[in-house]
Chains A and B, each alone.
Chain A
Amino acid sequence: MNKEELIEKVNTTLAEEFETDIEKLTPDANIKKTLELDSLSLVDMIALIDNEFGVKIANTELPKIQTFQALYDYLEANMK
């Protein structure tokens, strides 16, 4: 999967799960605000990412992943 395909898959997966307009998922947008995640639904995103991309986001890493761009970069660096 190249980076464009990765971005496409992340956006499609997240927009569908959290019923958000995919146009709103721009690289600089804040993930939590865009997907309207609260403390309960944040863990849904973590589980979804693990399931779809095989990447476990550790609690210590989470604060660093604020924007979609940060998420794409993290996944690219950590996918096998």
Chain B
Amino acid sequence: MKTVFRDAELFDLIPQRPPIVMVDLLQNVTDSGAETGLTIKEDNLFVHNGQMQEPGLIEHIAQSAAAFAGFKGYADGGQPRLGYIGEIKRLFVYARPCVGACLHTTLRVLGEAAGITLLAAEVKDGEALVAEGQMKIFLKED
């Protein structure tokens, strides 16, 4: 089974489409987490003065979670479901990464209940931690 998804291949997993696609890599998926990536391009919706702004980083985490959830659905032969952010908690933004940066994100599931998943995420640009925090995502029932 396919285990690495890049660029438009992710459209099988997430409901978001351009101009608001904020994840371009999903790999190393396990039951309890995954790794994702995003290369920041000049024309990214959330880039201003050559730097990715805070909502872009948060949306990258949210769509990483969407891709992770989508992968589970895909593995079961399902379509991606719309996922929404329910809550953001204890999220730090340390820097605004620049155009050209390759973000590398580690997701970890902390808990699940009643259709809501609590995840922890760490976003790195090379070795530098640019953002970290928790997010709750709920998936819309079909």
- Asked whether the complex places CB atoms of A and B closer than 8 A, the reply is yes
Once bound together, how far apart are the Cα atoms of A39 and B136, in whole Å? 11
Interface size class of A (residues with CB under 8 A): 10 to 19
Segment with Cβ contacts to B, from A5-13, A22-30, A44-52, A69-77:
A44-52
Q: Does B87 contact A (CB under 8 A)?
A: yes
Task: Tell me the bound Cα distance from A60 to B118 in angstroms.
Answer: 17
Q: How large is the interface on B (under 10, 10 to 19, 20 to 34, 35 or more residues)?
A: 10 to 19
**Secondary structure dominating the interface of A:** helix
Main secondary structure of the interface of B (DSSP, over half): strand
Asked if A62 and B118 make an inter-chain contact with CB atoms under 8 angstroms apart, the answer reads no
List chain A residues, Cβ under 8 A from B110. Answer: 47, 50-51
CB contact list, A42-68 vs B, under 8 A: 42-48, 50-51, 56-57, 59, 62
| Residue A79 at the chain B interface, CB threshold 8 Å | no
Q: Is the CB of A39 within 8 A of B114?
A: yes
With contacts A44-B118, A47-B118 known, is A59 near B111, CB below 8 A?
Answer: no
Bound-complex Cα distance A46 to B114 (A): 11
Q: Please, which residues of chain A bring their CB within 8 A of the CB of B111?
A: 43-44, 46-48, 50, 56
Within the complex, what minimum Cβ distance (angstroms) separates A62 from chain B? Answer: 6
Contact present for B112 and A40 (CB under 8 Å): no
Q: How far is the CB of B120 from chain A (nearest CB, A)?
A: 9
Say yes or no: is B1 at the interface (Cβ < 8 Å to chain A): no
Which residues 11-70 in B have Cβ within 8 Å of A in the complex? Answer: none
**Could you list 9 further interchain pairs (A-B, Cβ under 8 angstroms) beyond the known A44-B111, A45-B113?**
A39-B114, A39-B116, A40-B86, A42-B114, A43-B111, A43-B112, A46-B112, A46-B118, A59-B112
- Residue ranges of B at the interface with A (Cβ–Cβ < 8 Å): 86-87, 110-114, 116-118, 136
Give the interface of A toward B (CB within 8 A). Answer: 39-40, 42-48, 50-51, 56-57, 59, 62
